[in-house]
């Protein structure tokens, strides 16, 4: 039987599927290794709150019923925590879905969307899917070039993405530069500030964007429960924005986009402040350890304010990735992230960090003949 290829939409043809960090199970199958350390996907190595587990177990009794479509209880609790009106909150199947809702709602064929080069790749993918044109502005020393992004605005610009801290570099934009940028961007252009790693940041130069929402109707803030709260598998995040934008997004949102277990776990996680504080402290300790050990090896890295480090190398990151993989350590190769001679490593537990350093040191010693 001869099969005829069914043509796809033209703007889909050039899109490459997203390559996620290799799962532990896949590496175990491929290499037959029993002990694997995964430091590839910026997950929380310290798990999730016990309160979330209790909530999920209780919610399982309701599995046969659809969840509430707008997650009103969770939205209300977030509103109290953030001191905003719940009408300014939309929950998504991860903050990824909120990105998708924004492009699906506002991007038409040949509209332009400004973003950094290099940054979170799903911005570009969703823009392309919806027929838009990504306009990518190179980073300056791993940091968003806001002036360059502003100068790139044309009559076709509909949306701008700023990832802060930026994935994959972990860098932040200086407070006053971002504040000025938010004030200058024309109000008919959506300005989306992705703060997936917001809870990890402890720097006086980081801008608190939330108070600016009421003054800028075009500002959108994205956050997630996948990182500091450790709920990555449940896929739940949220967007903060003017109610008029949410009214439009709801038109294209799936009816039951966030499941019952995710809503219950996120709701309970908001009460566990000690868990979040402990994760922040341990992440900071792990970051300092990795920075010190990498410096001893003569390696440099971007100054990170998140739960990962992007390490600069004098060889392709793909080579180091493959050699680490053989030793049972999964990281991300920079060639997938826009920087060929780099790797990105998630900050893990002390034992995971030590294993990564020992494995990397072994590779470097072997390469140099030491």
Q: What is the average pLDDT across 167-183?
A: 98
Residues of the chain with CATH 3.90.1150.10: 19-47+274-368
Tell me the pairing of strands 332-333 and 342-346.
antiparallel
* pLDDT tens per residue, range 24-59: 777 777 777 778 999 999 999 999 999 999 999 999
Question: Which pLDDT belongs to residue 168?
Answer: 96
Q: What is the pLDDT of residues 289-331, one digit of tens each?
A: 999 999 999 999 999 999 999 999 999 999 999 999 999 999 9
DSSP-H helix ranges across 201-349: 243-249, 260-269, 273-296, 317-326
In the structure encoding, which two tokens stand for residue 234, read together? Answer: 């449940």
Positive/negative CA dihedral, 241, 242, 244, 247: positive
Of 103 and 368, which is predicted with more confidence? 103
If one compares 10 and 179, the residue with the highest pLDDT of the two is: 179
Q: Which two tokens stand for residue 97?
A: 């879905």
For residue 370, is pLDDT > 60? no
**pLDDT for the residue 6:** 79
CATH topology of domain 19-47+274-368: 3.90.1150
- Mean pLDDT over 211-225 rounds to 97
E runs forming strands in the chain = 37-38, 89-92, 112-117, 133-138, 157-163, 190-194, 219-224, 237-240, 300-301, 308-312, 329-330, 332-333, 342-346
How many CB atoms are located within 10 Å of the residue 171 CB?
A: 22
pLDDT computed for residue 5 by the predictor: 80
| CB atoms near residue 4 (< 10 Å) | 5
Span(s) in the chain for CATH 3.40.640.10: 50-269
Written as six digits, the tokens of 230 are 């450790």
**Residue among 118, 123, 122, 202 nearest 168 (CA):** 118
H or E element that contains 127: helix 122-129
Angle at 273 between CA 268 and CA 279, to 5 degrees: 105
pLDDT of residue 351: 97
Residue 47 DSSP SS3:
coil
Region label for 83, one of left (φ > 0), alpha (ψ between -120 and 50) or beta (otherwise) = left
Report phi then psi at 39, rounded to 5.
-130, 50
Q: Within a 10 A sphere around the Cβ of 25, how many other Cβ atoms?
A: 9
3 pLDDT higher than 80: no
- Check residue 368 and give its pLDDT: 65
Per the listing, tokens 């920087």 go with 339
What rounded mean pLDDT belongs to the chain? 95
What's the CATH number of domain 50-269, 3.40.640.10, 1.10.10.10, 2.40.37.10, 1.10.287.610?
Answer: 3.40.640.10
Note whether 92 and 257 are within 8 A (CB). yes
Q: Has residue 13 got a pLDDT over 90?
A: no
Locus of tokens 């392709």: 316
Q: What is the pLDDT of residue 341?
A: 95
pLDDT digit string, tens, across residues 17-31? 877 777 777 777 777
What integer pLDDT is reported at residue 338 of this predicted model?
85
Residue 32: predicted pLDDT: 73
pLDDT of residue 117: 94
Whether pLDDT at 1 is above 80: no
Contacts of 169 (CB under 8 A, 6+ apart): 118, 139, 142, 143, 302, 304, 310
Q: What is the per-residue pLDDT for 21?
A: 73
Count H helices and E strands in the chain, helices first.
12, 13
Locate 345 and state its tokens.
Answer: 């490593």
Tokens coding 123: 């911005």
Q: What average pLDDT does range 119-125 have in this prediction? A: 96
3-state per-residue secondary structure call for 312-368: ECCCCHHHHHHHHHHCCEECEEHHHCCCCCEEEEECCCHHHHHHHHHHHHHHHHHHH
């Amino acid at each position: 039987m001869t099969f005829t290829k069914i043509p796809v939409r033209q703007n889909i043809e050039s899109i490459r599927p997203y390559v996620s960090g290799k799962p532990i199970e896949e590496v175990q199958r491929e290499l037959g290794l029993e002990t694997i350390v995964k430091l590839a996907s910026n997950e929380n190595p310290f798990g999730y709150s016990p309160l979330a587990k209790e909530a999920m177990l209780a919610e399982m009794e309701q599995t046969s019923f659809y969840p509430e479509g707008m997650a009103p209880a969770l939205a209300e609790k977030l509103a109290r925590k953030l001191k905003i009106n719940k009408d300014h909150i939309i929950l998504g199947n991860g903050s990824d879905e909120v990105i998708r809702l924004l492009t699906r709602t506002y991007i038409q064929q040949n509209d332009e969307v400004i973003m950094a080069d290099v940054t979170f790749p799903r911005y570009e993918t969703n823009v392309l899917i919806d027929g838009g044109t990504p306009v990518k502005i190179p980073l300056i020393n791993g940091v968003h070039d806001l002036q360059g992004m502003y100068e790139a605005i044309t009559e076709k610009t509909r949306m701008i993405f700023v990832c802060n801290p930026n994935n994959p570099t972990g860098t932040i934009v200086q407070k006053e530069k971002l504040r000025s940028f938010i004030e200058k961007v024309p109000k008919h252009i959506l300005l989306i500030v992705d703060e997936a790693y917001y809870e990890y940041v402890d720097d006086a130069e980081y801008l608190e964007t939330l108070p600016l929402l009421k003054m800028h109707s075009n500002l959108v803030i994205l956050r997630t429960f996948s990182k500091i709260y450790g709920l990555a598998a449940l896929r739940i995040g949220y967007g903060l924005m003017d109610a008029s934008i949410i009214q439009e997004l709801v038109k294209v949102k799936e009816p039951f986009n966030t499941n019952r277990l995710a809503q219950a776990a996120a709701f309970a996680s908001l009460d566990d402040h000690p868990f979040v504080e402990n994760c922040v402290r341990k992440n900071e300790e792990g970051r300092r350890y990795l920075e010190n050990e990498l410096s001893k090896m003569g390696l440099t890295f971007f100054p990170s304010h998140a739960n990962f480090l992007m390490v600069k190398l004098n060889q392709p990151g793909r080579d180091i990735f493959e050699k680490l993989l053989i030793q049972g350590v999964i990281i991300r190769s920079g060639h997938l992230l826009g920087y060929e001679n780099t790797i990105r490593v998630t900050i893990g537990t002390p034992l995971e960090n030590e294993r990564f350093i020992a494995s990397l040191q072994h590779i470097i010693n072997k390469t140099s003949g030491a």
